[in-house]
Structure 1
Amino acid sequence: MNTHTTRRPKSRLLGLAVTAVAAISIAGLAPAAEASPAHNNTDPYSTGCNSGASLIHTYYTSGGRFDMFYSGTCQTNWIQWTGPNVCTWKRVQSPYGSWTQWEKDKATWSYSMQIYAPGSSTVDVEWAVGSPAYGNGTCDGGAWDYAHDVGRHGWYSVS
């Protein structure tokens, strides 16, 4: 008696398995952050540059502190404010002269955009801390500019 069975070729099943494994691998891998001047004026958290970043400097002022971070992966710097819920302004300048945009926040924790500064480059940081009374406690009470003293402001360099 002749029994006829239908069998799928092994090569077709193997091809489907390889394709499925490849699709799962590609979908599961997020692109790794890489060093690039394209990181100028970008968010260190949304780019993944904050992962594994090093605290390289802390400056205490106005009841809080500014922390400077360096990402070895992205070769970028940014600053973060931790302190009273007041208005802060912050920006970072690269060794090549470009600045990040001003970040103006009213929070107990906030951060600037990052700047590309590879290796042991020196960056400059400009910051200001408003008093709790500024703009009736909001950042919208008026424009902050260099002609007015709004809380404490200053510069420092970190190498």
Structure 2
Amino acid sequence: MDASQTTTSGNSGVKITPGTPGGTPGGTGSPESKGKGGSPKGTPGGTGDGGPTWEPRGELYIRELPAVVNVPQEQCPAVQKLGIEGVVILTVQVRRDGTVKDVKIAKDIGHGCGKIATKALRKAKFRPAIATNGQPADFELRYEYEFQLGD
């Protein structure tokens, strides 16, 4: 990871290292899946937010996984105050336009750090996954957001 992906702002001495998509990417494993929940009443196949229907693809149908364009770097006060360090693992749903649809905490380190990482990922921008047909695709991935004390 290069220095542009870490920050030590002010005199806090806290270093935040946003993770990268990796580990075991998600997806539903079924190209017919429409994701969780149903269509809101009156909008067949819609998402309720005016956007296209959420249709995540499994890894088998993906040629290129989503790539990070920008993830805001947020600080967790517990890192400096309590010396807490660790990795928050998040499940991130990336739409075919690279925006984030939803973020859920898969593994938290506590002390509010999970909520802070979730907030940062909701504002993140990704290069979308590319399906085997060459078109952008919805995809769910695992993201590791690391909090550590600075030097």
TM-score after normalising by structure 1: 0.26
Larger RCO (CA under 8 A, 6+ residues apart): 2
With the length of structure 2 as denominator, give the TM-score of the two structures: 0.27
Q: Which has the larger radius of gyration?
A: 1
